[in-house]
Amino acid sequence: MKGRLVLVAAAVGSLVVAGCSSSSSSSSSSAAAAGGGSSASTKACVASIGFEGPITGPVASLGTEQLHFAELAVAMDNAANNTKITLVQGDTQLQPAQAVTVTQQFTSNANILAVVGPAGSQEVEAVGGPMARAGMPFISGSATAVALTTGSYPTFFRVVSKDSVQGPQDANYIVNTLHPKALMIVDDQEAYSTGLVSAMLPIFQAAGIKVDHESVSQKVTDFSSLVAKVTPAESVVVLPWQIAANAQQFGRDMAQEHKTAVIFGTDGLFSPGTFTISGSYVSSFGPDITAIPADAAIAQAAQTKYGSFGTFGPPVFAATHVIDEAISSVCKAGQTPSRANVLAAIKTTNEPTSILGQPISFDSHGDLVNGKFFLFKITPAGKYQLIPS
């Protein structure tokens, strides 16, 4: 019932917004067309970029972190480049249908030249077509499914590595370093999680490890029954989840039921202060920027303005920065920014350094070149210690 109402409300909302924005869209388009190719170097570099992320819903904590870092990037880049870029927010709730609605609003708004996001791979699958048809470049800071960069979505880019890198890397670490005879792996029924599990399972099976594959919704917070299933032989529990608080509860339930298996989590579980189970591992597509000296100013600004953060925000900062720089470069070249020339500029991105502690450039499919993953171990004090690769 709730879901249906949301859909109805979203549909009505999108019609209203589409109706409003289509008029502004046409006027802006003609203005852009009239100004296209003319010298704009003396004019202010004005543009809008969209942000798509789960600002509400079960993973709102991650979405708001992403939004905060996008806002921070826009503010810092505007100051550095003397641009007037504004960020337009769109809440996708990590739902493909909602992401499509937001995308329709963005693509019909001619002022929006590029989009940061969406966060989830399933959302990218849903919006990839409409984005391509509108010629809208979009860069995700967290969508990692392999299928996204096989050529179907020519305007899609990402600043994080894909599951086919992270999954095997994590699985090999577990096999070669933790040496389990059996393990439990629990997906959270989202594309992100099931994608990683699919990438890990063949490696576990090839290593002769007995795997108990379980599945729980992100909305579940009671893991006592599942934890009771962890056998003494299962010395590792793999949790490719997005909600750190759930993993903390899983760890607490394990302690309560006297289970000693090591938790191996991914990405969303990087959350110092929330997920603190000693001896656990967390692999992340983003680094801990508080440990990168060059990022001190950004980390300080984010900490001061928004409080503590994990590893979902910094990649979005990087994605936003790529778009900001592309728009700025178009303006500096004397052109009026449009989706086409911003897309072309993004394709030629070549940043020698970034907030992620690595260069950023894209291959012909939109994938980050030489993307890295980072592995951390949680100390008894709850600190995240980087394990050298």
Partner 1 sequence: MSFFFQELVNGITTGALYALVALGFSMVYGVLKLLNFAHGDLYMVGAYIGFFVIQFFGGSASLSIAVPLLLVIMFVVAAGLVGGLGVAIERFAYRPLRDAPRIAPLITAIGVSFFLESSALLLFGAQYRVYNTSEFISLSSGIRIGSVTIDSVQILVLVMGLVLMTGLRILVNRTRLGKQMRAVAVDREAAEMLGINVNFVITATFLLGSALAGIAGVMGGLLFNTVTSTIGFIVGLKAFTAAVVGGIGSIPGAMLGGLVIGVAESMVTGYISSTYTNLIVFGLLIVVMLVRPSGLLGRAQLQKV
> Which residues are at the interface with partner 1 (CB under 8 A)?
1-2, 5, 55-58, 60-61, 63-64, 186, 213-217, 219-222, 224-226, 228-229, 243-246, 248-249, 252, 255-258, 274
User: Among residues 36 and 279, whose Cβ is nearest to partner 1?
Assistant: 279
Please give the angle made by the CA atoms of 213, 148 and 151, to the nearest 5 degrees: 140
Distance CA 279, CA 235 (A): 12
Strands 374-378 and 281-284: antiparallel
d(CA 258, CA 239): 19
Which residues touch 321 (CB under 8 Å, ≥6 apart)?
Answer: 73, 77, 351, 354, 355
CB 268, min distance to partner 1, A = 11
Which residue, 72 or 186, is less far from partner 1 as judged by CB?
A: 186
Q: How far is the CB of 253 from partner 1 (least distance, A)?
A: 9
Closest to partner 1 by CB, 9 vs 333, is: 9
Nearest residue (CB) to partner 1, 134 versus 186: 186
Give me the amino acid identity at 110.
Answer: A
CB atoms within 10 A of CB 114: 30
Nearer to partner 1, 61 or 266 (CB): 61
Q: What angle do CA 239, 219, 147 make, to 5 degrees?
A: 55
Q: And the tokens for 341? A: 């020339």
- ω into residue 337 within 30 of 0, thus cis? no
Nearer to partner 1, 55 or 299 (CB): 55
Closer residue to partner 1, CB minimum distance, 92 or 354? 92
Q: State the minimum distance, in angstroms, from the CB of residue 221 to partner 1.
A: 4
Least Cβ distance, residue 275 to partner 1 (angstroms): 10
Name the residue among 127, 59, 47, 123 with its Cα closest to residue 87: 47
C-alpha closest to that of 239 among 213, 259, 260: 213
CB of 174 to partner 1, least distance (A): 21
- Considering the complex, what minimum distance in angstroms separates the CB of residue 60 from partner 1? 3
Closest approach of Cβ 179 to partner 1, in Å? 25
Rounded Cα–Cα distance for residues 41 and 49 (Å): 20
